[in-house]
Structure 1
Amino acid sequence: MNSMRIRLFTILLATTSAVWLFAAVWIYASTQAEVERVLDARLMEAARMVSSLISDHRVDAAAAVGVATDKPLPAPFEKASGNYSRQLSCQIWSLEGSLVSRSESAPETSLADHTSGFKETEIDGQRWRVYAVVNPALGVRVLVGDSLEIRERLIGDVMKGLLLPGIIILPVLALLIWLSVGRGLAPLTRIAVGLSGRSATELHPIDDRAAPGEIRPVLHALNSLFGRVAEARERERSFTAYAAHELKTPLAGLKTQAQIALRTDDPKVQRDALSRISTSVDRTSRMVRQLIDLAAVDSAVSAPVDDAVDLHSLLSEIASDLEPLLTAGEVRVARAWGEHDPTAVMVKADRTLVQLALRNVMENAIQHSPRGSEVSCKVFRSGDDAVVVITDQGHGISAAEEARVTERFFRGAHPAGHGSGLGLSIVRMALDRLGGDMAFEKTAEGFVVRMRFPHDRPVPDAGPGRQAAAGENL
């Protein structure tokens, strides 16, 4: 059942029918009990009234006893008909067991054989509810009986009067429920029609001022989604434009230097052109790798991580991978731990994201370091978190640039010769996904980048809005 309208209609109709059925059962039970109580009280009152009339000599029971064999008794007993007349039947019996008198609707057979109180009996297939009272002064026993069949028919007629209108009204009620559910879901239909008429570029928010309170959370979620999609589209446009521009420059340089090398016979000019081509290729290669890294961070999903990452070991691996860059810049890496450090600092996190963050910071530090200088790496535990500190001897980042340094393609006032402006943006995004953070500081030892990694924290879901914030705030 995929239709919300059908589901609501079925639930409301079933609930209404169940309530109605429960009410009918309750009314039947209460009506039956109340009718029996009232009719029993009537039986008792009728029997006592007849006994009182006899005692007051309004009915000459003694004479009736004496002439009982001489006078004809009332007409033969007839079973109760469809109406409620003659419902009560009365008999007067002498204590010796002879019938003194009876009502027209009473049978000739004794209604009951008990002396007092209530009793149910059956005579000629008809069930009776009988109340007996003894008049010792006159020596008679008064029996007043009520047909149980008439009682049951009375209760049945009451229930028919309740159920028949309900059965007739039920189709009308179902139609009203169907129309009411449709009217209640009309705002959803209007929203669906409005959304279906939008083009892919229409990402403006839905006006929710006139929407019902139950739908507003859905509209808020949709508007938030539209905002994130719009941000993602804008970042994609900017990213494509910047990437095209940044790749166009080294490619143009490659073509120019290649043309110079082809047109000259001077070995010195050719070597210089080939050197520039090599530098341009390195720059382009690094930019392509960082673009791939950026896409990897963007597409990282939130998932439980079971692998423990040894930060000492990972930094050593990164330093080994960057050995060509270290050699070219005549820079060395100083590590504050031994080859087999027994106090290794472990974090439970996505190894790829941790590696991307550490590699890009260390690569930036090496590129911005003067020749013959040193890049130092320290790892230590701070509470439940792990902290990695990388220090270089370069110019660092000014206070004015800190607010923009993690923006994509931002290079700052002292860019490296082949920097792309993507490194710190990748670091910020990776740390955001890991739940960590990054800080910069200028000290007497040099420019410090401090990264904090939570020991064991699920990777947060970084939607487009969060990724945008990573590129705008430090």
Structure 2
Amino acid sequence: MTTNTLPSLRAELSRSLWWISAAWLLTVLLSVVWVVRHEAEELMDEALRESSELIYGLLKQGARLPDELQGQVLPAPPHKEHLVWQLLDSRSAQVLRRSHMAPARALLMPTRRGLFDAPGGWRLYAIPMSDGRSTLLVAQTRAERLESRYGALLALLAAALAVSAFWAALLSRRVRATLQPLAALGTQIQAYDPMRAETDLPPASRAELLPVRSAIHELGQRLALRVRHEQAFAAHAAHALRTPLAGMDAQLALAQREADEASRPRILRARAAAERLKRVVSSLLLMFRSGAELDVQDLSLGDLADLAQRLPLDQLQLHVQAPADRTVPVRADPNLLSAALANLLDNALRHGAEQAWLSLQLEADGMVRLRLRDDGPGVDADRLSQLQAGLNQPEDAAAVGLGLRLAQLVAQAHGGCLSLEIPAATGGRGPRGFAVCLQWPSRGPGSRAG
């Protein structure tokens, strides 16, 4: 499972915060709607009552208008009325006085003081005048009341949305900041190498991360201890084998001089096998030297070509295809590369190859590719797939030989890999031989190609 397919803790927390914010906002909206619906209605009814009492006082204390103005609009400058009023004759329901936007006909003829709903979508407050002959109505249209209610509602909703968005963004940012130590720990773990003290994990910056940091550190220390034990064992075994092998070679050389012609070929084969074993032992010593640190040097493709040509090959002819530009810079451990090449060439020799071709290239993606092909019998496609699968699964050590495994370890130590390839067809007889490609970043271990 890749990182892109795994659920994100940050995304989950952000979604939770957004859902909580949305639920909170919905609750606020419903509360606001309820409050506006009830409180605003009461407030506007109270405004009708207060306005009617104010106009009642003005009409009672003000001068009477001439009778010829009865039923007409009182003089006033042009304006938009949100409240209208009518003064009615209590017996005939005739409009005696009215505001300039009030209807000319009576909205309603109430018989008592209070709030009423009148036909035509009016809400009004009625108050009888003290003379007992007239009634004052102060009214407002339902549309006006709805407009006022929804205006207040929209203003409150806009404010709630703005506040919610602000706090949601602030919480999301806070979540990212809170999870930053976890991301930093992930970066530190990626760079952590229990075999190198300078890459040790720093102290945990949060109490919740302390168990994770401690568990990973302890696991790394156990793995490092196991690796050191394996390295020590391999180095000890290689050292222990090197002296007997040297003695065996000396004894075989002496036996070769004293043997008759019939026995010498068998002794030569025994010496060749002992020599191959010595090379394997030398490679093991090189791979498991103290600290397992690479001796990375600034080389060139020409240096690598010269290094391959200096390999001791008695029975195998190696053709090195030097690059056109031998000065192309490359960073690598020359000793480990020599060991890897020696083991690959020894594999070719053991499987019946007489010639091998080595090419070195720096590709456009920044990878150095070292391709080796021999003229041996090779393997079929099924066996090639099995070998490649064995290289890709380190726990399946029996699937590949020691030579391929050592070459793969060298490639991985350089930040690269070893892959098996199908040789190109030769002489019209189809593919022949065995081909491998060892590749690593030209800038050395730890760098990225491209």
Give yes or no for TM over 0.5: no
Q: Which structure has the larger Rg over C-alpha atoms?
A: 1
Larger RCO (CA under 8 A, 6+ residues apart): 1
TM-score, with structure 1 as normaliser: 0.40
TM-score, with structure 2 as normaliser: 0.42
